Chain A
Amino acid sequence: MTFLKILVVDDDPVTRTLLTKRLINEGYTIDTAEDGRVAIEKLARQFYDVVLTDLIMPGGVDGIGVLEEAKRINIKTEVVLITAHGSVDNAIEAMKKGAVDYLQKPINFDELFLRLDKIRNLKMLVKNASDLREAMDVTEKTSAETIQDLEILVTELNGRLSAIRATLLQEGMAPESRIRQVLDGLDEA
C-alpha cells in the first residue's frame, strides 16, 4: 500500500482536473466522479483508500452524503472533505460523522499531500498491527497444539513409568519374570 487509491469527487471540472493532475504527479492512483451520485456508484463497485470530496455539490447527494455512504460501504475508506473558505462549522460536523480530515478552499496542495501522507502512514500502521496479530494467532494456535499433545504424552509416559516401577518392585516374583513382564508391557504399548 505504498500509494493510495483516491476517488476525487467535485462537480467543478476545473478543480477535478487540477486535483487529478497534481495527485497523479505525486504517484497516487486517481479516479473521479462529477457528483455524489456517481461517487456512490463507484464506491459500491470498488474499494478506494481515500475519498476526496467537495462538501457542497448539486444533484441531491452532497459531501456529507458521500461520506456517510462511503463509511457504510467500507469503514476503512477514509474521507477528506473540501469546504468553502470559512465554513468550518460544516467541516466539524463532517468530522463528527467520521471524516478523517478537511481542507479549505483554495486548496493548498502541500497541505493536501501532507494530510494524505498521514493517512497513508496510519493505514500502514493499522495493517502492520493486524498482520502481526494474525501471525501471532497462527503461531499461538500451532504451538498450542504441539504443547498440548506433549503435555498429554508426558502424562501418559509418566503413568507407564510408574507401572514399570511397580512391576519391577513386585515381590514374590523372580527378577527375570518381572523384567519379562515389563518388556511385554512395553511391546503392547
Chain B
Amino acid sequence: MVKIRPEEIKVLSNYIYNVSGITIDASKAYLLETRFGKLLDEEGCKSYSEFYHKAKSDPRRMLEKKIIDAITTNETLFFRDTSPFDLLKHKILPDLIDVRSGKGTRPGTTNLKIWSSACSTGQELYSIAIVIKELLGNNGNHKTTLMGTDLSNAAVAQASAGTYNKFEIERGLPREKLHRYFTPAGGNWKIKDEIRAMASFRHMNLMQPFVGIGKFDIIFCRNVAIYFTLQDRKKLFDKIADVLEPDGYLLIGSTESLTGICPRFIPKRHLRSVYYQLQ
C-alpha cells in the first residue's frame, strides 16, 4: 500500500476539508490510507500528491465525488437508537398536528415538512416515514414532505434506490417491520413503494449556504456535526435555526450537545429523550 508522507497529510486534509467540511486530525493520518488506499490503486496514482493533483485538476470533479464517498462515514441503521423515533411518534408529531390543524388555512389539514439533513443511505428518513405511516395511516388530512440530503452521492443513490443487504437490515429493524415494509429482492431487501413514495433524496453539502430549501417543522441532524470543527458546527446550527419553523423541533445525536454551540436553541426533555426548540 502506498504510504502517505507527512507533508501530504496536510495538503490532503486541507483538500478534504474544502470539499466536505470534514476535519481530519494529523493523528488520524492512518484513516487517509485505509480509506483511500483502494481508490489510489484504481486511479493508478503512485503517491498521495499525484492523487491530490489528479483530483484538483479534474474539471468534471469525478474524483472529488469518489473522495467524498470514501471519506464519509455511512454507519447508520434503521431506527438507530430508538429514542428519537419514539419521541417523534409519542410527542413531536401529535403536538405539531394539534397545533397546526387548529390554525391552518383549512382547519383540520396539516403539511409537515421533515428534513433528514445527513441521511446517509436513507435508513433514518425511511424509519421516520414508517413511524408516520404507523401513526397517521392513510389519513389524507395530514400531508408530510420528507426530504433527505447527504454529502455523498453514492449514499444518496443508495437511499433513492431503497435497497439494502442483509447486514444493513439485520440490526435495528424488527422482523415484523421488515416483512411489512420491505420486499425481498434477490438476496436484498427493497423498501415498499408506499414508503419510498413518501421520501425524496438529494445531494447537499451542509457547509454551503442553505438556498431554496424552505422551512422545516422537524429537522434531524444526528451524528454529522461531530466531524466538523467547532467553528463550522456553530455555523451549521445557526443555519439550521434559520430554516426551522418557530415552533419546530430539532433532533441531534444522542451523544451530541449544543451547549456553547448555538444559543438560539434550548434543550427540552421528554421522558428519556432530549430535543431542541428555538428560544
Residues of A within 8 A of B (CB): 133, 140-141, 143-145, 147-148, 150-152, 154-155
Contact = CB atoms under 8 A, between A and B. Distances in A.
B34 interface: no
B17 to A, nearest CB: 26
B269 A148 contact: yes
B258 interface: yes
Given A133-B171, A140-B81, A155-B267, A148 B258 contact: no
Given A133-B171, A140-B81, A151 B258 contact: yes
Given A140-B81, A155-B266, A155-B267, A150 B255 contact: no
Which of B171, B255, B257: most chain A Cβ within 10 A?
B255
B254 interface: yes
Contacts of B138: none
Contacts of B267: 148, 151-152, 155
Contacts of A155: 259, 266-267
Interface in B80-107: 81
Contacts of A152: 267, 269, 274
B255 A140 contact: yes
Which 8 interchain pairs have the tightest Cβ spacing? A144-B254, A148-B274, A151-B267, A144-B255, A143-B255, A154-B259, A151-B257, A147-B257
Contacts of B274: 148, 151-152
Interface string B266-279: 11010011100000
B50 interface: no
A141 B272 CA distance: 11
Nearest to B266: A155
A147 B259 CA distance: 10
Contacts of A147: 254-257
Contacts of B259: 150-151, 154-155
A80 B272 CA distance: 48
Interface string B9-48: 0000000000000000000000000000000000000000
Interface string B172-205: 0000000000000000000000000000000000
Contacts of B266: 155
22 contacts: A133-B171, A140-B81, A140-B254, A140-B255, A143-B255, A144-B254, A145-B272, A147-B254, A147-B255, A147-B256, A147-B257, A148-B267, A148-B269, A150-B259, A151-B257, A151-B258, A151-B259, A151-B267, A151-B274, A152-B267, A152-B274, A155-B259
A144 B266 CA distance: 17
A151 B257 CA distance: 7
B254 A148 contact: yes
Contacts of A154: 259
A150 B255 CA distance: 11
A49 B255 CA distance: 37
Given A144-B81, A147-B257, A155-B259, 6 more contacts: A133-B171, A144-B255, A147-B255, A148-B269, A155-B266, A155-B267
Contacts of B258: 151
Contacts of B81: 140, 144
Interface in B185-232: none
Nearest to A126: B167
A26 B81 CA distance: 44
Nearest to A129: B167
